[in-house]
């Protein structure tokens, strides 16, 4: 019985020794893996720091370029406004040129160059100018009256809305 107990204790001791050896081997493998992972972690940290520095440089570069882009955008907006006004002015000048060209063509086709300049009646042109001035004055007066009526109508509408 003692022999059986000794044998049983010996088997348990052997099982514990095997268990201890397995744990010791697992510990060594884990420490080895930890050491390798620490090396990889250190390398990763170094790479991360390099990337942070690179990112900071790139952000500064992006901000600088963005300010340049913003300045250029403002310049483009201003230039578009100028272009629009210049296009409008050019269109107006072109209309005037076309009108003057049509007048010139009309005068050249209707004026008889064979007659002497003494026969030209300047009074006709003066009457035309006076007629144009009268029309302009009439239209100006009309526009002023329309403006006054518009103000009165606006006042009436506003007074209705307050009630």
| Domain residue ranges in the chain | 123-163
Task: Give the confidence band of 114 by pLDDT, cuts at 50, 70, 90.
Answer: low
Structure tokens given for 103: 């007048």
What's the pTM? 0.39
Task: Give the confidence band of 111 by pLDDT, cuts at 50, 70, 90.
Answer: confident
pLDDT tens for 27-40 read 999 999 999 999 99
121: left (phi over 0), alpha (psi -120 to 50) or beta: beta
Q: Mean per-residue pLDDT for 73-90?
A: 95
Sequence-separated (6 or more) residues with CB below 8 Å from residue 114:
none
């Amino acid at each position: 019985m003692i022999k059986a107990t000794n044998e049983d204790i010996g088997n348990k001791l052997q099982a514990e020794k095997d268990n201890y050896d397995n744990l010791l081997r697992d510990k060594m493998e884990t420490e080895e893996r930890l050491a390798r992972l620490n090396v990889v972690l250190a390398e990763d940290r170094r790479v991360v720091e390099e990337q942070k520095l690179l990112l900071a440089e790139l952000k500064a570069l992006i901000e600088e370029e963005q300010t340049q882009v913003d300045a250029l955008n403002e310049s483009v907006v201003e230039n578009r406004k100028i272009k629009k006004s210049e296009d409008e002015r050019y269109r107006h000048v072109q209309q005037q040129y076309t009108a003057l060209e049509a007048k010139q063509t009309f005068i050249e086709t209707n004026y008889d160059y064979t007659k002497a300049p003494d026969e030209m009646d300047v009074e006709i042109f003066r009457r035309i100018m006076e007629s144009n001035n009268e029309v302009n004055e009439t239209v100006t007066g009309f526009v002023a009256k329309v403006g006054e009526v518009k103000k009165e109508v606006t006042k009436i509408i506003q007074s209705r809305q307050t009630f």
